[in-house]
Structure 1
């Protein structure tokens, strides 16, 4: 799912800009827009760009921000640890989903129960993100991350035990999904501690998204190969090991930091944070802008099998249809993160978000599978809009609310995608799959254009709460 430098005046043709806020006692200045590439290994300050390493004392900074590039993010040791732990646990989740699907189907012969393995990866996010989000702010982040990984490892170990009933398998899968938004929200908030809340944060979060998209492309293939060598339960045991490895990396490779805030009872504190997030107009609009495109863009993936059958493309086309949008997203994020400046990424954010679903309109009239794949790759490439919105979002959220806000964002994103898939499937019961995909593009474009206009006004107004 979710950026611009704080000290720039708004310009009508350049997308929303956050006007400079007056410095008040206790207010936290805006983060560094971008760090120069020459010899700076860490974030050296806030409120002003870092000087070039080779600049003479007193020399003025370069006139414009330069892209930091992904290599600057990997120069931060703690981020490398977070990145590796993320890749390990994510591959474990993907492999376990395949293994559990095969295992449940083998035990029951029920397509419905086997499909619940995937459904339970979406639905419990709403519970965890709403009722447990306070954990991300009330406890030291490293402890939260390690405990979440250990809980997931225990759940995977229970699923790997011989003779575990199907009901317990599904319950453990559900528990992992409840924990997931707390873990993800805490990790995202931790990125602001590790990388700051400027351009390095945007690029760091982009890299984590790229890993997630890559896992879709490689994880299912690796899982399928693994299941030709080991049993489904043994594959789930591999997942438990990946969670344990992630927990060990996070425990030994990241710094201990204090909790961001203190509060009362957990659920009341979590719900209070939920209300605070949606009470702020700017945060609310940014959240909706981060959620709306994914709700509609999942239609082609949800209907890949039905659409392939509709055009007579065969089962091989299903995999191509499923992979097309992740390929576009990965390529676009790599391009935007590597070659575009922070201001350029901010300028293209709202146009991409507003128009990114237009390629889906082409699907019902496409003359062949190749053209459909091109349309889906184009729709996926529009996902680069998140690099612009991520920074606006993190700058709008007060520090003491960051963990809960990031958890709510993650939970909402996963939930809205599940709703989008369900609605696409329901619509395909009455209309052809191609028409449903085109309709999702049309309805989604209208919604996203309206939201982009509201988002532009909200971001330009500069009425975000003070950062503490």
Structure 2
């Protein structure tokens, strides 16, 4: 196990690394750019067509190309220098956003350009995650750096759409999208000038299926990947069904907004606590119990709770997400360096795609069963799946590591 036993140096120490500051600032610009683009495109498409379906499709197109892009481009994250990949992805997204902002761009082309941006997103995320280990090292600083980038993404849920809505009160949708293009250009500039050029990790050109097999063919990496992918499939269920659940409680839009904020707030607080107050060794030890218990708060929906108890369940489920810090370290330790870019790209691809699948399945189930029963069932089924994955991790852990974990799960 590479996690140390010394007190965590905390997030402040991570910011002392100049290259990480550039990566963090670039991430902030690109995340805000994507959020502004999503809300602006939705408004633009609806005004142009009057179609709620096409308007909603602009959001769906942020998920759908992930599978294709992540699968086809995963090997590029290892075959090409990380800085070149990151800057290239940002410039491609800036070009797409600039084309969207041009007057007279037809709706069909707007949707194609949105697809193109989503297509390169998993490559960008995988290359950036792999490069963090080069910038921060493969220990605690890497885990805290990943945590900071996740918290930025979660915060975007809380403030991003509000910021986008505010922008649209003073700018036309195409003007707001032009700001998105500027954000991507700024990100490319920060990454190009603020990070050091490093050689590619290597890896030959191979078929996407072979690249997938190279990562998931290892039993432990496969189990860890599924432990990243599958819990979010179940934890998004209450979020996906918040609107009908709040309507069933006769709650207003203000209460609905508060409920939508509960899980992201819990997630941010949980990660801040784990990253600031716990040692790397402690984070690793509590990973198994936290991920096992993470979906249990959803069982409160079995009592058809009112707003206070439902908020509590969502907040607790978010707090348990602190398990990802320990899981990040386990994953980094398990993946060989030459596969790191591919593995990280596939990790973000599956995570994004399966969350979309979870939302869709939740909506489908709610067509036939009451919302509170669907959420409760997701908690039960998800907990069973997690326990099976933890048992698989225990089974494939090296013998010398098995006695060291309180849950019997090796902290690699």
Shorter chain as normaliser: what TM range? over 0.9
TM-score, normalising length from structure 1? Answer: 0.84
CA distance in 1, matches of 2:236, 2:330: 24
Q: 2:129 aligns with which of 188, 192, 206?
A: 188
CA distance in 2, matches of 1:196, 1:392: 14
Question: Given the alignment of the two structures, is residue 79 of structure 1 paired with residue 17 of structure 2, yes or no?
Answer: no
CA distance in 1, matches of 2:217, 2:377: 32
Q: 2:379 aligns with which of 432, 441, 446?
A: 441
The equivalent residue for 1:402 is 340
CA deviations on 1:218-270 (whole Å, 9 max, x unpaired) are: 101101111111111111111111000000000110000011104135xx1x4
Question: What is the deviation of 1:462?
Answer: 7.2
Residue 369 of structure 2 aligns to a residue in which SS? Answer: coil
Question: What is the deviation of 1:364?
Answer: 4.0
The equivalent residue for 2:118 is 177
Residue pair 1:289, 1:455 contacting (<8 A) in 2 also: no
Question: What is the deviation of 1:363?
Answer: 2.0
CA deviations on 1:335-377 (whole Å, 9 max, x unpaired) are: 0000001111011111111110111111242442121111101
Q: 2:291 aligns with which of 353, 356, 376?
A: 353
Residue pair 2:304, 2:372 contacting (<8 A) in 1 also: no
Residue pair 2:226, 2:389 contacting (<8 A) in 1 also: yes
Residue pair 2:75, 2:203 contacting (<8 A) in 1 also: no
- The structure whose residues are more often helix, as a share, is 2
Question: What is the deviation of 1:321?
Answer: 2.1
The equivalent residue for 1:324 is 262
Return the index of the structure with the highest Cα Rg: 1
CA deviations on 1:299-338 (whole Å, 9 max, x unpaired) are: 1221121111111112222222221110000000000000
Q: 2:88 aligns with which of 134, 144, 147?
A: 147
Residue 187 of structure 1 aligns to a residue in which SS? Answer: helix
The equivalent residue for 2:349 is 411
The equivalent residue for 1:263 is 204
CA distance in 1, matches of 2:198, 2:305: 56
How do residues 62-461 of structure 1 correspond to structure 2 at under 5 angstroms?
A: 64-264=5-205, 268=207, 270-461=208-399
Residue 24 of structure 2 aligns to a residue in which SS? Answer: helix
TM-score, normalising length from structure 2? Answer: 0.95
Residue pair 1:392, 1:459 contacting (<8 A) in 2 also: no
Count of aligned pairs? 401
CA distance in 1, matches of 2:143, 2:396: 20
Structure 1 unpaired stretches of 5+? 7-32, 35-63, 464-468
Q: Residues 222 and 312 of structure 1: is their aligned pair in 2 closer, same or farther, counting only changes over 3 Å?
A: same
Structure 2 unpaired stretches of 5+? 402-412
CA distance in 1, matches of 2:362, 2:305: 22
Residue pair 1:278, 1:284 contacting (<8 A) in 2 also: yes
The equivalent residue for 1:18 is none
CA deviations on 1:3-29 (whole Å, 9 max, x unpaired) are: xx34xxxxxxxxxxxxxxxxxxxxxxx
Residue pair 1:428, 1:436 contacting (<8 A) in 2 also: yes
CA deviations on 1:15-69 (whole Å, 9 max, x unpaired) are: xxxxxxxxxxxxxxxxxx34xxxxxxxxxxxxxxxxxxxxxxxxxxxxx422121
CA distance in 2, matches of 1:273, 1:165: 37
Q: Residues 218 and 401 of structure 1: is their aligned pair in 2 closer, same or farther, counting only changes over 3 Å?
A: same
Residue 298 of structure 1 aligns to a residue in which SS? Answer: helix
CA distance in 1, matches of 2:186, 2:117: 16
CA distance in 2, matches of 1:455, 1:292: 14
CA distance in 1, matches of 2:166, 2:371: 30
